Structure 1
């Protein structure tokens, strides 16, 4: 799984959580926090907590939170591994040459985007 696909996976999971979540106001959550937390824990329900009409937090079962944390850590680990591999691969290359190659690649992408628009 690549860094990008892991980020897409996290986004997909969060979108599904939000889509299947019940909405609860912050005031209602304050009135019965134990009841809401029990529903999250025992029934695997999810809630989006809103205050003044704006989503402020999501309450999700702990197992889903742990899964998201594992996915995020895996993404970080893969990113740093990729960074180390790139550093090793370009260790003997002149930094100025690398900078010129990057600038050229950026120009090509920007030119392509202009033509595609």
Structure 2
């Protein structure tokens, strides 16, 4: 099953979804701003992406600054908790296929795991 963590307001996310429509028969769309991933789900996604929590953060979001997430002393658990509470901080889109995940920036990056 192919799954995309999608934000309808994001042009890269919409472009990635369009690629999935062209290349995949069935896929699941998770509007992660409405249904944020849990701490456990984020842990799994980070493992599938091969990324740290800090690497998955959107540093340009207002919440990043207001929550002081630029503090290098913050551990992954704290950063993950911030993303669960403020899903806008999660880099997007994330596509998961057969236990592998990739961020669709650029959208064509997802083709590597399809």
Q: TM-score, normalised by structure 2?
A: 0.26
Q: TM-score, normalised by structure 1?
A: 0.25
Higher relative contact order (CA 8 A, sep 6+): 2
User: Which structure: greater helix fraction?
Assistant: 1
Task: Give the number of the structure whose alpha-carbon radius of gyration is greater.
Answer: 1
